[in-house]
Amino acid sequence: MSQPPPRLYAIADLEYAGDETTWLKWLQRLGQAAAGGELPAPIAIQARARQLSGSALEAAAARARVAMGDAPLAVLNAPAPLAAQLGYQGAHWPESQIPPAPLPHPRLAFMSAAAHSIAAVRRAERAGADAVLFAPVFQPSWKRGNAAGLEALQAIAAATPLPVYALGGVTLERTSACLKHGAYGVAVVSGVFGADDSTAAARCYLETLAADETHQPDAPATA
């Protein structure tokens, strides 16, 4: 990417959606909003279907990519070769799937990685990740998870030059606290897709992020 990554990272999770029809509608609506100038700032949108694998994942990911349309930064939670094959601009590595070395070029425009420890952050750095998602900062609203807390987020953010997104229970009201503890931006599931109007919810997050810009660390543009 020639520009710094977006501050808001919206994750459409198939398990949270409950069925593929709902999931695809989410992706289509927010993708249209992102492409059509309905949002005040850029946004990354991730399609996540962790319960699928093999041909089922490939087929669902292909339908998700079509649904996302002209979204400027469509990310797939799956191996980068599959994401590239299906036309995604980015891919996300779960922590267990972070490769030991950078991927061969040409590479996708954006690569993010899940990291729950400083050791995992170091692996993400070696792999050439453009950003790290640290979770759960707070107790997620829709699944079990042990909250790591803001101090853990701060330690992770201080340990790496990579942009760090706070994920897990990050409501609109908690966004400012995450930024004050070193987060570059926030990654959300239910905060956007659990709302009656996902576009309006995304807009509120973006406005909050912009209002707290003085607390946000600058991120280098990714190659």
Q: What's the longest Cα–Cα distance across the chain?
A: 45
What is the predicted pLDDT for the residue at 211? Answer: 92
Mean per-residue pLDDT for 108-120? 96
Whether 1 is in a domain gets the answer: no
Whether pLDDT at 144 is above 80: no
3-class secondary structure, 47: strand
Whether 223 is in a domain gets the answer: no
Whether 220 is in a domain gets the answer: no
Q: The CATH number of the domain where 145 resides is what?
A: 3.20.20.70
Whether 29 is in a domain gets the answer: yes
What is the predicted pLDDT for the residue at 219? Answer: 58
Q: What is the pLDDT of residues 157-184, one digit of tens each?
A: 999 999 999 999 999 999 999 999 999 9
Whether 3 is in a domain gets the answer: no
Whether 203 is in a domain gets the answer: yes
Q: Rounded CA gap, 164 and 130, in Å? A: 9
Query: pTM above 0.75?
Result: yes
141: alpha, beta or left? (left if phi > 0; alpha if psi -120 to 50):
alpha
Q: Rounded CA gap, 157 and 142, in Å? A: 25
Q: Rounded CA gap, 80 and 27, in Å? A: 19
Whether 18 is in a domain gets the answer: yes
Q: Rounded CA gap, 143 and 126, in Å? A: 31
Give Cβ neighbours of residue 24 (< 8 Å, ≥ 6 apart). Answer: 63, 64, 67
Whether 65 is in a domain gets the answer: yes
Mean per-residue pLDDT for 25-35? 98
Whether pLDDT at 136 is above 70: yes
Q: Are 195 and 164 in contact (CB under 8 A)?
A: no
Whether pLDDT at 221 is above 70: no
Whether pLDDT at 223 is above 60: no
What's the domain range around 131? 8-215
Whether pLDDT at 222 is above 70: no
Which two structure tokens, joined as six digits, stand for 189? Answer: 């599931």
DSSP string, 151-198: HHHHHHHHT-SS-EEEESS--GGGHHHHHHTT-SEEEESHHHHTSS-H
Whether pLDDT at 17 is above 70: yes
> In total, how many domains does the chain have?
1
